[in-house]
Each structure stands twice: as C-alpha cells, then as structure tokens.
Amino acid sequence: MERLVTTSQAAEILGLSLQGIHYRIKKNQLKSIKKDGKVFVYVDDTNKVYKQEEKIEPVKEENSFNNFNAVIEVKNEQIELLKKSMKWMKKQYISEIFRLEKNQKRIIEVFNSEIQLLQSAFNEMRSIYKPQIEQKMEEKREKNSSGFLSLKDFFILMKRGNKTEQEIKFTIFNAIKKGDRRFIYNKKEKKLLILDTNFEDLI
C-alpha cells in the first residue's frame, strides 16, 4: 500500500540515501509531490525494491574530463565563429572603403568637369565683352581728358541728389545767370559746356 512520506522517511524505508531519493525523483522513478515548499514521496511498505548498494555513484573523473573537453570544444567552435565573423566584417569594411573612394573620385571628376565648363564659358564671355568694355573705358578716358561733363551726365548726377528735372533746369539757368564758370553757354551756337568738377553746392 502506498503512503505519502517525507524524503528522509522514504530514504529510511527504502534503504537509500537522501541523495538516492532525490535522484530517483528526478528520474521519475519515484512519484512525488510538493506541499508548502517541501517534497513528499509515495512509497510502498510491502515492496522495498531498492537496496542500499543502489546508491548513486559519485561522478567519475573520466566523466569530468569528458565534460571539460566538451566545454573546450564548444569554446573553440565559438572562437572559430567569431574569427569568421571578424573576417567577413573586415571584408565588408574594405569593400565599403573601396566604394566610397570610387564615389569620391567620381565626384572630383564631376567637379573638375564643371570647373572646366565654367572656365570655358568665362573665357568665351570675356572674348565677347572685353572689346566693348575696353571701348567704354576709352570713351570715358577721352571724356574725362576733355574736362567737360555732358548735359546727360549732369542730370544723372543731380538726380542722385533727389533733384527733379525742373529743379535741375532751374539750377543751370541760375548758374549761367550768376556767371558760374562751371557752366559755359555759347549764345551763337546755343551750346552749353559743363566743366567736370565738384557740384556738391548745387545738390
């Protein structure tokens, strides 16, 4: 008949050590339950099938050595995997560096091509407008060397001082009337010459 006893009682009844009881519970050779944090075992008083000599033998040194070798083997496998992973990462890194360098060369080539196009466009524009600019500068030098200012330029100068056309005409008329030497009026030819000088007093 089965009854429920503690592990210590089961060891005494079955003639086993406490370690042997726990071993057989783990191997499902003994039925057990857990109550209030304690383990209880079902035993049959009439049939003591276990003997004292059936105690669990201690782990042999050979098994320990085999376990140690197994651990070393697993570690070696992990190391090999890490080496392969590092090798792959290094290959990827080199490939990425090569790609970036290739792209950089392409960008530099594009920039150089753009610079050449801009230089060519600049030279073309300069060849077109340089004669015109030189002609304008020559005309300006000639005008300045004559010492006179055109009526048009005088109007532009006065307008910069916020003068209206009526005010400018009145200024010229008063200057001629007062005998301002900057304004020379030829009555016969009806021409007005304006000396290229300072007109700050009129602005």
Give me the pLDDT at residue 71, please.
Answer: 81
Examine residue 172 and state whether it is found in any structural domain, yes or no: yes
Q: Using alpha carbons only, what angle is made at residue 194 by residues 189 and 198, rounded to the nearest 5 degrees? A: 170
Helix (H) or strand (E) holding 183: strand 183-186
Q: pLDDT at residue 36 above 80?
A: yes
Give me the chain's average pLDDT, please: 81
Pairing of strands 148-149, 191-195: antiparallel
pLDDT tier, 53 (very low <50, low <70, confident <90, very high otherwise): very low
Pick the range with the lowest mean pLDDT from 78-92, 123-137, 160-174: 123-137
142 belongs to a structural domain: no
Asked if residue 118 belongs to a domain, the reply is no
pLDDT at 50 over 80: no
In a domain, 7, yes or no: yes
User: Where is the domain boundary, 12, 41, 58?
Assistant: 58
Number of helical H runs and strand E runs in the chain: 5, 6
Q: Can you give the residue range of the structural domain that contains 189?
A: 147-202
* pLDDT over 70 at 58, yes or no: no
Distance CA 85, CA 97 (A): 18
Residue 55 has pLDDT above 50, yes or no: no
Q: What is the pTM of this model?
A: 0.30
Residue at token pair 């033998």? 57
194 has a pLDDT exceeding 60: yes
Mean pLDDT value across residues 29-44: 86
Higher pLDDT, 45 or 181: 181
- Strand-pair category, 183-186 with 38-44: unpaired
Is the residue at 193 inside a domain?
yes
pLDDT of 119 above 50: yes
**Domain C-terminal end among 42, 58, 74:** 58
Residues 6+ apart with CB under 8 A from 129: none
What's the domain count of the chain? 2
**Residue 91 counted as domain residue:** no
Provide the percentage of residues in the chain whose pLDDT is more than 70.
Answer: 83
Mean pLDDT to the nearest integer, 102-119: 87
**Residue 27 domain flag:** yes
For residue 108, is it within any domain? no
Residue of higher predicted confidence among 54 and 141: 141
SS3 call for 130: helix
Amino acid at 140: K
- Over residues 170-182, the pLDDT tens digits come to 999 999 999 898 9
Average of per-residue pLDDT across 124-147: 70
Specify whether the CB–CB gap between 28 and 19 falls below 8 A. no
